[in-house]
Structure 1
Amino acid sequence: MTLKQLNYALALGQLGSYGRVAKSMGVSQPAVSLQIQALEVELGIILFDRSNKKVEPTLNGLAFLEKAQSLVTESKHLEAFALQLSEEVQGDICLGIIPTLSPFLVPLFVGDLNEKYPKIKLKVQEAITEDVLRGVKDGTYHAGIISTPIESKSNLEFTPLFYERFYLYVSEKHELYTQDEIAISELDNSDVWLLKEGNCFMDQVTNICKMHANQGGDFIYESNNIDALRRIVEYKGGITFLPELSTLMIPSEQEEMIKDIKGKQKVREVTMLSLKTEVRKNILSVISEVIRDNVPSQMLGKENKEIVKTNFVE
């Protein structure tokens, strides 16, 4: 059994076609077919059902591919292992970061990271929580930054970075605009603009206010973008929820639209996650340190704050 065979098998499980696998890997179709057959003969089991137009894993094949993915991911880590033995912090890192966080967090710390650790080559990709988790497990990302807590039974390590407060953003046309603090009980369901279903930030907001936005009438807007919802409130009226870091970038003439939520501070826990076996732990550690150094100090502790749960279950 070879890593080449495992990679071919994993690609076939994803693409469902020998031709597509061959094209994606730059080899001939017979070469892929022969390697898969040799693997099945060695294992003594049929990994793929070839009776349909699309090649699909058998039940045994699905179980095998899950284990094979872990092995292939671990093999990728070996390529970076030698660099991590060096005292100097260096290497490539790809982070998956959720879209309600990335545009506000990355500009805060990336300049400082480049200055202090010029040999770290950082790549950031925005992805929803589900895709970040999948990417960390299959090796697409070396780590991810998401909102927690979430329910997960995977071989993942979670390191909280900071605690981001929720605020309300209220249109100047709204009757609640004159208040500095607003109780959740004062909100009208029909006035609230929320992110698209399936977003963890939306889950946490609906857990705060125990309702779903009712965007009826002649205009319905769905988005995964915090700034887009802010613009809707500014031009269409109503209310939305904002995470704390996004409020740092709001122009001074619109700061009066930011309102505190009455009661104990409600926050989302922002966490770095990686495989427990990730060999780039030294790089992730310094990135975490730089992030903490650059977010507002009041966000670092969780004392006297209510951490709002997500509904995400892996």
Structure 2
Amino acid sequence: MTLKQLKYALALGRLGSYIGVAKSMGVSQPAVSLQIQALEDELGIILFDRSTKNVEPTLNGIAFLEKAQSLVTESKQLEDFAIQLSEEIQGEVCLGIIPTLSPFLVPLFIDELNKKYPRIKIKIQEAITENILQGIKTGIFHAGIISTPIELKSNLDLVPLFYEQFYLYVSDKHELYSQDKIDISKLDFSDVWLLKEGNCFMDQVTNICSARPNQNGNFIYESNNIDALRRIVEYKGGITFLPELSTLMIPSEQEEMIKEIKGKKKVREISMVSLKTEVRLNLLNAISQVIKESVPSQMLREEDKEIVKTNFIEK
């Protein structure tokens, strides 16, 4: 049994096609078939059902592939560990960041990270929480930055980075525009534009006020983009919710549209998530420290803030 065979088997389980595996791994289709067959012969079990159009794992195959994924991930970590034995902070990190955070956070810290740690090669990809967690477990991501708290079931570790306050963004045509702080209980939610269902930010807003998306009239707008909703408010009227970092990039002529929510500050906890066995902890710690130095200092304090729960449960 070889790591190459395990990687082929995992790719076949994921793609369901020998041709797809061959293309993705830069080898011939017969080579893939021979390696998979040799693996099954050695194990004495059938890993894949080939009787259907798409090749699918058998019940034994599903159990085997789950263990194989752990071994392949750990083998990659062993390779990386050799690099990390050096005292110098260097290496490659692939980081997943949720879409409601990435466009506002990355510009704040990336230049400072490159200046302070020029030998860290960082690749950042926007992804929803579910895909980030799955990507960490399968080795696509080394870590992720997500909104927490969430309910975890696997070998993952969460480290809080900062606490981002929720704000309202109110059209200058709206009756609440003149107020500096707004009582959530006074909102008419037919005026409120929200993100598409299934987004953690949307979940947290729902937990704040039991709001539902604006679907009045003949215009319905679904988006996973914070800036898109902000522009809808500017041109169509109404109200939306904004995370704190997004407010730092709003032009000065629109700053009066930003309103605080009355009562205790409601925030979302932003955390770094990675495998408990991740060998790049020195790199992740360096990135985390630069992020903390880059965000406004009041966002680092948890005191006197209400952390809004998400509804996310790891599958």
- Where on the TM-score scale, by shorter chain, does this alignment land: which range? over 0.9
Q: For residues 135-146 of structure 1, what are the structure 2 equivalents within 5 Å?
A: 135-146=135-146
Q: Which residue number corresponds to residue 69 of structure 2?
A: 69
Letter aligned with residue 9 of structure 1? A
> Once the 2 structures are TM-superposed, how far is the Cα of residue 255 of structure 1 from its aligned partner?
0.6
SS at match of 2:197: coil
Cα distance in 2 for residues equivalent to 1:111 and 1:31: 44
Counterpart position of 2:49: 49
Which residue of structure 1 aligns with residue 125 of structure 2? 125
**Helix, strand or coil for the counterpart of 1:70?**
helix
Query: By how many angstroms is 1:299 displaced?
Result: 0.6
Contact 2:195 2:213 in 1 (8 A): no
Q: Structure 1, residues 38-64: CA drift from partner, whole Å, max 9, x if none? A: 211222221111111111001111111
1:254 alignment partner in structure 2:
254
Residue equivalent to 1:231: 231
Q: Name the structure 1 match of 2:34.
A: 34
Separation in 1, partners of 2:34, 2:88: 44
Identify the residue that residue 19 of structure 1 maps to in structure 2.
19
Check conservation: 1:9, 1:65, Cα contact below 8 A: yes
**Are 1:166 and 1:243, in contact at CA under 8 Å, matched by a contact in 2?**
yes
Equivalence for 2:80? 80
**DSSP-derived class of the 2:293 partner:** helix
**Aligned-pair CA distance for 1:72:** 0.9
Instruction: State the Cα deviation string for residues 244-287 of structure 1 (Å, max 9, x = none).
Output: 00001111111100000001110000000011111110000011
- The answer to whether the 8 Å contact 1:200/1:310 transfers is yes
- Deviation per CA, 1:69-110, whole angstroms, max 9, x where unpaired? 111111112222122111110111110000100011011111
Task: List aligned pairs for 1:169-188, cutoff 5 A.
Answer: 169-188=169-188
Q: Is the 8 A contact 1:91 1:119 kept in 2?
A: yes
Corresponding position of 1:264: 264
The answer on whether the counterparts of 1:109 and 1:291 sit within 8 Å (CA) in structure 2 is: yes
Q: Which moved more, 1:207-216 or 1:197-206?
A: 207-216
- Does the 8 Å contact 1:40/1:46 carry over to 2? yes
| Alignment match, 2:99 | 99
- TM-score normalised by the chain length of structure 2: 0.98
What letter corresponds to residue 153 of structure 1 in structure 2? K
CA contact (8 A) 1:22 1:32 kept: yes
Runs of 4+ in 1 over 4 A off after TM superposition: none
Q: Provide the rounded CA distance (Å) in 2 between the counterparts of 1:291 and 1:242.
A: 20
SS in 1 for 2:301: coil
1:191 and 1:213 in contact (8 A); partners too: no
Give, in whole Å, the separation in 1 of the partners of 2:77 and 2:302.
33
Query: For residue 7 of structure 1, what is the aligned residue in structure 2?
Result: 7
Kindly state the Cα deviation for residue 26 of structure 1 after the two structures are TM-superposed. 2.1
Specify the code of the residue in structure 2 equivalent to 1:145.
Answer: I
RMSD: 0.9
Residue in structure 2 matched with residue 208 of structure 1 by the alignment = 208
Hey, what's the Cα distance between the residues in 1 that align with 2:243 and 2:160?
16
Superposed CA deviations along residues 1-28 of structure 1, whole A, max 9, x for unmatched, are 1101101101111111112212222222
For 2:27 and 2:15, how far apart are their aligned partners in 1?
15
User: Which one-letter code corresponds to 2:98 in the other structure?
Assistant: I
Q: Distance in 2 between matches of 1:283 and 1:111?
A: 16
Task: Tell me the TM-score normalised to structure 1 length.
Answer: 0.98
Secondary structure of the corresponding residue to residue 147 of structure 1? strand
Q: 1:144 is aligned with what amino acid?
A: G
Q: Identity across aligned pairs (percent)?
A: 80
- Residue 111 (structure 2) aligns with: 111
Tell me what 2:155 maps to.
Answer: 155
Query: Partners in 2 of 1:23 and 1:225 — Cα distance?
Result: 33
How many residue pairs match? The answer is 314
- Partner amino acid for 1:155? N
**Deviation readout 1:182-237 (Å, 9 max, x if unpaired):** 01101111000000111100000011011212322111111111011000000000
- Paired residue type of 1:242: L
Q: Does the CA-based 8 Å contact 2:194-2:214 persist in structure 1?
A: no
Unaligned runs of 5+ in 2: none
The answer on 1:278 being equivalent to 2:281 is: no
Mapped to 1, the partners of 2:25 and 2:119 lie a distance apart of 30
Rounded to whole Å, the distance in 2 between the matches of 1:212 and 1:289 is 37
